[in-house]
Structure 1
Amino acid sequence: MSIVKRQHIIEVAMKLFVEHGFHATPTSQIAKKAKVSVGTLFNYFPTKEDLIEAIYIHIKLHSKATFLELLEVKQNVHDTLQSMWHAIIQWGIENPNEFRYLELFCHSPFKNTYRTEKSLEAYKQFQNEIMKKVIPSTICGDYPEYVLTYIDNSLHATTRYLLEHDVENPNEFINTTFDLVWKGLSFHGNDKEGY
């Protein structure tokens, strides 16, 4: 089997799924757009669910590699976390189809199949680091899953906003959105050096 052809099918299918959704995109349409027969498509991906999973795994691997390239380790925790925030959002801006696919996937029944997965490593690494700095005596300590959901939604909202709006200074916007989360969750809202 051709790795190039497999990748081409993944890219075509991802684009169609993002445009039309999982259920409204038949495998026959994917095969037609990819210029392969339905039989060839099923040789690479025996079921539609296998294709959906393959795209998800492809995005996980690509996003992790990109995140590691973009990440800059800084001298204090605030700045390192801000660099992580930047790297995650930058990946989404530079890969809008992959970002939108993840959003589609995370709001679909397929997400439940991968509940044991760690989602994107970039998100998990960021979440784990920021959870070490949140106020334990508040809702953060009592409901850590809520905090992780809040952080994830903030990352997605920032990326989505930048994809859909013309922002004059994207880097400043990204830094400001990070500060909103940081100040809301950290021990000392204004203290960048204390960590």
Structure 2
Amino acid sequence: MSSNSTTTDKKQAILDAALQLFVNKGFNATSTASIAKAAGVATGTLFHHFPTKNDIMNQVFLAIKQEFADNMVTSTQFSGDIEQDAYTLWQKAIDWAIAQPLKQLFFLQYSMSADIDVMIRKQAMTSILSFVVELIEQGKQQGIIANFPSELLLENCHGQYLAAIRFFTDNPHLGGDKIHRDASFTLFWHAMKAQ
């Protein structure tokens, strides 16, 4: 095993351990020592990769957002029909949340938390999720999506998504129910579309 892959493995072990601890114990109750112990690395190794616990939190957040975004666009055929493309992405987002319960719980606990730096949240929303920004802009240009400030629309999308995954987390037996899944999209779409 090369030194580079060992470094990558240790860094990933730290992120994986932090994710588990942040979800189970909370950010403030999780110490860097407990993260290092759960990751099976020395505390010095943890600080080599991440100078602070906030750096770990921000990296966990960005890594999960990137995984989420990659899942959303992989094998998605955009039709050019804004509502249909939004529906497809919405359903993929719900599928991802159901398939990734720990990461979904992290989103629910921390997506709007002050524990995530504002600039990191903005980077995730505008850069990592740029395909959503593009869809909103196209929809606004076509008069399909309400002509509200794009940043506000993006935050609304995010809030609607968190509400939907909270519902499906609390009611896992409805995660595969088409009526509830479609209703969750309709609620989201009504909040976005032009009147």
Check conservation: 1:81, 1:130, Cα contact below 8 A.
no
Given the superposition, is the C-alpha separation of residues 102 and 136 from structure 1 closer, same or farther in structure 2, using an over 3 Å criterion? same
Check conservation: 2:69, 2:129, Cα contact below 8 A: no
* 1:38-53 superposed matches below 5 A: 38-53=43-58
1:15-54 Cα offsets, whole Å, 9 max, x none, are 1011122111001111122222212222222321221222
Match among 145, 149, 154 for residue 148 of structure 1: 154
> Aligned in 2, Cα 1:174/1:14: closer, same or farther, shift over 3 Å?
same
What is the Cα deviation at residue 81 of structure 1? 1.2
Aligned pair 1:181/2:195, yes or no?
Answer: no
Give the TM-score taking structure 2 as reference length.
0.78
- CA offsets 1:66-96 (integer angstroms, 9 cap, x no match): 1122534236222111001112222222222
- Structure-2 change in CA distance of 1:147 and 1:47 (3 Å): closer
Q: CA deviation at 1:155?
A: 0.9
Residue 181 of structure 1, CA deviation: 2.5
Letter in 2 for 1:69: T
Distance 1:158 1:105 in 2: 14
Seq. identity, %: 23
Aligned pair partner of 1:102 in 87, 103, 107: 107
Q: What TM-score results when the alignment is normalised by the length of structure 1?
A: 0.78
Equivalence map 1:1-195=2 (5 Å): 2=6, 3-69=8-74, 71-74=76-79, 76-103=81-108, 104-114=110-120, 116-119=122-125, 123-130=129-136, 132-133=138-139, 140-141=146-147, 144-165=150-171, 166-167=173-174, 169-187=176-194
1:136-166 per-position Cα deviation (integer Å, ceiling 9, x unaligned):
99xx435554433322111111112112212
Residues matched between the structures, number: 186
How far off its partner does 1:56 sit? 2.0
Runs of 5+ consecutive residues of structure 2 not aligned to the other structure: none
In the aligned structure 2, how far is the partner of 1:12 from the partner of 1:115?
21
Tell me if the contact between 1:135 and 1:186 (Cα under 8 Å) persists in the aligned partners: no
Tell me if structure 2 keeps the 8 A contact 1:85–1:126. no
> 1:15, 1:97 within 8 Å by CA — same for their partners in 2?
yes
Rounded Cα–Cα distance in structure 2 between residues aligned with 1:26 and 1:152:
29
More moved, 65-74 vs 153-162: 65-74
Change (3 A) 1:19 1:90: same
Instruction: From the two aligned structures, give the one with the greater helix fraction.
Output: 2
